[in-house]
Each structure stands twice: as structure tokens, then as C-alpha cells.
């Protein structure tokens, strides 16, 4: 089972791996040095922790993720709705749009998703 609780730094690191996978661990060190200003030990420490959490794997020096980015963020979103809004998606959406105004394009896109869902069911 993958531990989905990641801090901001771990999320950024995972995003780098998703962007470059499969990536050689040595190349990952160079990427993190450039993008995050990390030294080699920091990269390997975070890599080890995310491997322990089950999100990443490092086999023969090649780093890959164990779950696609979209699925990871989907599961995290579901947990936020469950934990903060008692599983109510309408309550989550109401809370979200009360603080951030939707553009007409965003509202139309959401409506299309709802319409497509209704057609499928």
C-alpha cells in the first residue's frame, strides 16, 4: 500500500520523477541539483523515503513511480473530500467556488463533465 501523505518537498520530488521516468538515479541527482539546488545526499534521502512509502521504486539504479500521477492526485483529492467534507462532493465544490470565482470556460467544462456522467449512468 502506498503512503499518500507527502509533504510539499516530497510532492515536488515525485513530480520530477513523474516528468522524467524512467530516470537513472544519477541523472535524477543532476536534475534535483539544477531544479531544487539539492546536493546528492538530499536527493538520495528523499528517494529512499519515497521508496519506503511505496510511491517510488529504484531498481538497478533506475527510478520509476509505482502509481501514475493522475491516479495519485485523484486518490489524494478523494481523501480531502472524505476527511474535510464528510464525503460530500457538492460541499467541497461549494466551498471551493465560494473562495475562487470560476471563469465561464471553467463552469462550462465542469458542466460538460456532469452531462457526460449523466449520459453514462
pLDDT of residue 121: 76
Q: With cut-offs at 50, 70 and 90, classify the pLDDT of residue 23.
A: very high
Which CATH number describes the domain made up of 8-69? Answer: 1.10.10.10
Domain ranges of the chain: 8-69, 89-121
Find the helix or strand (DSSP H, E) in which 65 lies: strand 62-65
pLDDT tier for residue 98 given thresholds of 50, 70 and 90: confident
> Is pLDDT of 1 > 80?
no
Task: Give yes or no for a contact between 2 and 66, defined as CB atoms under 8 angstroms apart.
Answer: yes
Strand partners, 65: 56
Between 79 and 56, residue with greater pLDDT:
56
Q: What is the pLDDT of residue 48?
A: 97
Please say whether the beta carbons of 32 and 38 come within 8 A.
yes
pLDDT tens digits for range 3-20: 888 999 999 999 999 999
- Residue 99: count other Cβ atoms within 10 Å of its Cβ: 6
How many CB atoms neighbour CB 39 within 10 A? Answer: 12
Cα separation of 30 and 44, whole Å?
12
Nine-digit cell at 19? 516528468
Report the side by side order of strands in the sheet with 23-24: 23-24, 62-65, 56-59
Cα–Cα nearest to 13, from 30, 36, 40, 34: 36
Amino acid at each position: 500500500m502506498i503512503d499518500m501523505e507527502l509533504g510539499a518537498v516530497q510532492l515536488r520530488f515525485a513530480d520530477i520523477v513523474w516528468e522524467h521516468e524512467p530516470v537513472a538515479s544519477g541523472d535524477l541527482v543532476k536534475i534535483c541539483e539544477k531544479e531544487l539546488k539539492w546536493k546528492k545526499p538530499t536527493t538520495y534521502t528523499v528517494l529512499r523515503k519515497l521508496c519506503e512509502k511505496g510511491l517510488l521504486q529504484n531498481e538497478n539504479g533506475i527510478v520509476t513511480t509505482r502509481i501514475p500521477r493522475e491516479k495519485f492526485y485523484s486518490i489524494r483529492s478523494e481523501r480531502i473530500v472524505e476527511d474535510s467534507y464528510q464525503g460530500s462532493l457538492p460541499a467541497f465544490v461549494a466551498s471551493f467556488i465560494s473562495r475562487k470565482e470560476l471563469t465561464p470556460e471553467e463552469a462550462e467544462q465542469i458542466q460538460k463533465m456532469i452531462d457526460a456522467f449523466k449520459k453514462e449512468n
